[in-house]
Structure 1
């Protein structure tokens, strides 16, 4: 399987070379991620691209000193939408109506249905739900990066509130879920030569 080759190629890059990803390559990567499946198709998260070196240096301080946040070509942050329910539903209804040429009645019925579903969750539950959707996107993101021979390192080991404050995300109705530096591996990164360690299929697969 070609997919397996991509999985074997990629690893959690520890040391980036500093070589830049072009905007065109980064857009291809993010577009593939955009097409990922999500609950109801709502995509209750977004991707934030931090190119500014100085800003990424600030974020190193909130990433337990992990210098790859600054040394990579860009830092991509997946952020959950934590504002009003309408901030999640309305953009979807707008695109749905346009792409599928819904009548006003069909659009409003769909809007009401989705709004009721999301409002039935507490704010904390909606945030958790949105974060889970972001993780689905991460799987596509990592494989798309490998397809484009872009190195990556998904990171949960960050100070989420500090990221939100540094990037003023709360004002935007967003909350950091995880960050992922992207770029190109350094020849000095010895991690790339280590064998990939995973559970064998006989232990990973449970047949009931």
Structure 2
């Protein structure tokens, strides 16, 4: 797939800054047009060698409630939930999306985690993207394709601070600064939800 913004159909839409304490989060609901987002969903679905990982939660091993794939520069490793992942090579599609995300966020990314939520039964538990490999203030660019799903946030020390945002088809969510140190997020189950693919670009510090 071509790597230019024009050919990917990037839209210049308003970015919303979430008014949350101890966080820097920005949301662009129509980062890609619906037509382009739908095309990217189909391409990513078919070109990705999806796998279901086994993760460790509270000391017990479970099959992750979603399919995933880790893509990035050669030799990178990333560990979370008792799982160590090694990257597979970039595709032209992912390189093109990465270029758009880097341009919009003013950041550089050397890897991306792809998650495929097959339906509303698939989910992602409470967590922060705060592994040591991501550095002191991780920069995470999250792009969503397919069905909208709720993205819930909660403050780590103040239980009164909560926020829910629907991540729409073709949207970009950028989390940076102190966000991961102070907040957790998750994707809850949702009845009757359709399939969704999420890409979270990040940079592993070697």
Is the radius of gyration larger for structure 1 or structure 2? 1
Q: TM-score, normalised by structure 2?
A: 0.31
Higher strand fraction (1 or 2): 2
- Give the number of the structure whose residues are more often helix, by fraction: 1
Higher relative contact order (CA closer than 8 Å, sequence separation 6+): 1
